[in-house]
Amino acid sequence: MHEKIRLELIIERMALKRACRILETAGVSGYTVLPALSGYGRGSRWQRDRDLSASQDMVVIISISDESPIRNVLLELHELLDQHIGILNTSRVEVLRPDRF
């Protein structure tokens, strides 16, 4: 097994392109984007598709990469989160095929 860093970002869909551009520019090897369906936090619940315009939809961006590119994006993603609703976490993970990441 090989150690990598997993980045998980939940953010408003309107910020998706900017978040992906930050990851790509920093050399993150790849990512996957998923819809966030619903959640609870800070005393309130939210659910996808309650807003007809989808302007408040959330997405989840997951990336597993070497530590250096992930660490390089944290400041820019923090700045992005100052402007948009979202949360960010990282964790150490082990992968079976490091050449995929």
Residue found by looking up tokens 């392109």 in the block: 17
Buried b (16+ CB within 10 A) or exposed e, 72-91: ebeebbeebbeeeebebebe
Q: Mind listing the pLDDT tens digit for each residue in 73-99?
A: 999 999 999 999 999 999 999 999 988
Average pLDDT over residues 5-23: 97
Segment 18-71, tens digit of pLDDT: 999 999 999 998 999 999 998 888 787 878 666 555 556 899 999 999 999 999
Q: What pLDDT does residue 76 have?
A: 97
Question: Which fold would CATH assign to domain 2-94?
Answer: Alpha-Beta Plaits (3.30.70)
pLDDT score at 52: 55
At 87 the pLDDT is 96
Residue 8, pLDDT > 60, answer yes
For the chain, what is the radius of gyration of the CA atoms? 14
Helices (H) and strands (E) in the chain, counts: 2, 6
Q: Where are the domains of the chain?
A: 2-94
Give the Cα separation of 54 and 50 in Å (integer).
Answer: 8
Angstrom CA distances, 6 to 37, 59, 69, 92, 94, stand at: 21, 16, 11, 6, 9
